[in-house]
């Protein structure tokens, strides 16, 4: 007897569950140090929530790319995974930078915008991943 399974439906359901788990985890991790102290600042809380949403999406894309790389072991997926991981890192930096001057803590000597350098690394990894030729 055949079952009426739709191809790919299980993957979509598991992706939705994975996104839900990551969303709850990120909000739980960031609630006390970032979200709750600024809840009364009307203008700033929207900015912080925008960054929290960006962190959630970046972490989700990183986890999905890790799963894809573990399945296929493709060099392209490795570079894309690195790009998404760097994107997640820079989004966390942007989030903390909007609440505290994190760059003054991390690099007090070098007078560069760290987040722009990290974004350049991310774009380079994405570019390598997209343009890499499989032989």
C-alpha–C-alpha distance, residues 86 and 122, integer Å: 6
Q: What is the pLDDT of residues 23-59, one digit of tens each?
A: 999 999 988 888 888 788 777 888 888 889 989 999 9
Answer whether 0.95 is exceeded by the pTM: no
Which of the four pLDDT bands, split at 50, 70 and 90, describes residue 111?
A: very low
C-alpha–C-alpha distance, residues 11 and 1, integer Å: 23
Which of the four pLDDT bands, split at 50, 70 and 90, describes residue 82?
A: very high
């Amino acid at each position: 007897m055949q079952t009426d399974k739709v191809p790919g439906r299980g993957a979509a359901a598991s992706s939705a569950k994975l996104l839900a788990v990551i969303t709850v985890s990120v909000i739980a991790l960031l609630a006390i140090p970032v979200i709750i102290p600024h809840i009364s600042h009307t203008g700033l809380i929207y900015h912080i929530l925008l960054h929290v949403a960006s962190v959630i999406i970046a972490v989700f894309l990183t986890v999905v790319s890790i799963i894809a790389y573990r399945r296929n072991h493709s060099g392209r997926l490795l570079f894309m995974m690195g790009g998404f991981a760097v994107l997640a890192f820079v989004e966390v930096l942007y989030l903390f930078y909007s609440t505290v001057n994190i760059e003054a803590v991390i690099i007090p000597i070098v007078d560069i915008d760290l987040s722009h350098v990290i974004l350049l690394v991310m774009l380079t990894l994405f570019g390598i991943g997209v343009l890499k030729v499989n032989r």
